[in-house]
Amino acid sequence: MKRPLVFGKGNIADLASRIKRNPTISSVVLGIDVLAGYQQANLEDIFGVPVLDRYSVVLQIFNKHAKSKESKLQVALAEIPYIRSRLREMTDGGKETILGTLGRVSGSGQNYYQLRKKILDYRALQIQKAIHRLSAKRDILRLNRQKLEIPVVSIVGYTNCGKTTLIKNLTKDKRLEPKNHLFATLDVTVHTGHLPTLKQVLYIDTVGFIADIPTHLIQAFVATLREVTFSHLIVHVQDVSHPDAKNQNETVIKTLDQIEVGGNLAETMLTIGNKVDLITDSSSPINADMLISATEGTNIDQLKLEIERRLISNTGRFVKTFRVPSGGTEYQWLLKEASISNMEADAADNNYIVLNALINKMVFGRFLRQFGSEYLVKKQKLKESRIVA
């Protein structure tokens, strides 16, 4: 049985006095995951203002920012355990009086709690099925990306760390509208960009993480968060200007562990300190691979080079040297399918050009099947490009 007033008599009287003396206080938020219904009712009677727990606050934020069908379903699923916990109180510890006489529902042989629990269980099942259908569609899209072998970068971080702003800077997508508040992004969204050598890169914007988030809230978004595990590189964005940056970093690492990010994906994760333009002290409480400002564009070019370097390594791309007819079909094919880093006219025959191409295994195999191996240069005539040095 939880304490009816959460606090002791002395503390509750002191808090009530402070709240009533300050007319600007419109509500009280407690750092407790879930308050019992009777605790909330008792405190509101004493304080004279609404009393909220962490779960209800996060749910309200989620409800406000859920835009897509999937995110709305996930929020609805997250609400059910909260409602169910309140429902249980109505039949536990002599709390039946909250609803008056519960008794048996006429003709059903079930009491009020059993009937409502059955309704909630059915609702949860229907929502889970709808989420599963949407997840299946997302799986198909992911498989299509994998077939094309397009490099995928997941941008993760604590809520309001600047992930969307960074993606907008990396992709130059003017449609993105970053917002300076918690959980501005509740959906996994995919944005196309390019890097100095790689022609196409997909950046995934993810749900922001938060410390001590109630377990049921995490579970509702696990299917969405697990999209991160299918990427080729994770970029962890940290807000170096935040006074609690160290704890925020620990929260992100813990959440990544919960969704089972490990192996090479965890080992090659790129950690960047964002909002460097907002700090005056050069020292930082966190360890980052580089410092940037997504808003001001500070060190973004260097960041692109580092993202590309790690992507090339993680996706198994390699450089091959080709000698192909200048302007010919083979050259046009490579220009479209690969990333050409260097090329020059063949000194022995100006009708041919020699080029270095960054290529993956699938594309290389297609070239060999279509054109054969006669255009490959076994001993490279050009210096390797800087990206494979």
- Point out the least confidently predicted range of 58-67, 73-82, 268-277, 335-344: 58-67
| Short-list 156, 122, 102, 166, CA closest to 295 | 166
Q: Residue 338 is encoded by which pair of tokens?
A: 């690969």
Which of 101-110, 184-193, 338-347, 363-372 has the highest mean predicted lDDT (pLDDT)? 363-372
Q: What is the pLDDT of residues 6-15, one digit of tens each?
A: 888 889 999 9
What pLDDT does residue 153 have? 95
65/314 Cα distance (integer angstroms):
34
pLDDT tier at 218, thresholds 50, 70, 90? low
In this structure, the dihedral spanned by the alpha carbons of residues 144, 146, 148 and 151, taken in order and rounded to 10 degrees, is 130
| Short-list 46, 39, 51, 53, CA closest to 16 | 46
pLDDT tier at 303, thresholds 50, 70, 90? very high
87/99 Cα distance (integer angstroms):
10
Query: Mind giving me the DSSP string for 281-323?
Result: SS--SS--SEE-BTTTTBTHHHHHHHHHHHHHHHTT-EEEEEE
Residue 385 has pLDDT above 50, yes or no: no
252/158 Cα distance (integer angstroms):
6
SS3 call for 382: coil
pLDDT tier at 34, thresholds 50, 70, 90? confident
Higher pLDDT pick, 40 / 89: 40
Residue 284 has pLDDT above 50, yes or no: yes
Residue 110 has pLDDT above 70, yes or no: no
37 close to 13: Cβ distance less than 8 angstroms? no
Angle at 171 between CA 289 and CA 184, to 5 degrees: 80
Q: Say how far residue 122 (Cα) sits from the centre of its chain.
A: 29
Q: Residue 290 is encoded by which pair of tokens?
A: 């580089």
For residue 305, give Cα distances in angstroms to 30, 265, 358, 387.
45, 18, 15, 8
Residue 133 has pLDDT above 90, yes or no: no
Give the mean model confidence (pLDDT) for residues 114-139.
84
User: Rg of the chain's alpha carbons, rounded to an integer?
Assistant: 28
Which residues 6+ apart lie within 8 Å of 353 measured at CB?
323, 324, 326, 331, 343, 344, 345, 346
Q: What is the pLDDT of residues 176-206, one digit of tens each?
A: 766 554 554 556 778 899 998 888 899 988 7
378/173 Cα distance (integer angstroms):
41
Which residues 6+ apart lie within 8 Å of 159 measured at CB?
182, 183, 184, 208, 209, 210
- Point out the least confidently predicted range of 16-20, 24-28, 139-143, 152-156: 139-143
Range list of β-strands (E), 49-199: 51-52, 152-157, 189-193
SS3 call for 264: helix
What pLDDT does residue 95 have? 45
- Point out the least confidently predicted range of 63-72, 106-115, 189-198, 341-350: 106-115
341 membership: H or E segment, kind and range:
strand 339-346
82/56 Cα distance (integer angstroms):
8
Residue 386 has pLDDT above 50, yes or no: no
289/224 Cα distance (integer angstroms):
27
β pairing state of 51-52 and 28-29: parallel
What pLDDT does residue 101 have? 43
242/279 Cα distance (integer angstroms):
9
Query: Mind giving me the DSSP string for 136-159?
Result: HHHHHHHHHHHHHT--EEEEEEBT
Which residues 6+ apart lie within 8 Å of 198 measured at CB?
151, 308, 311, 312, 339, 358
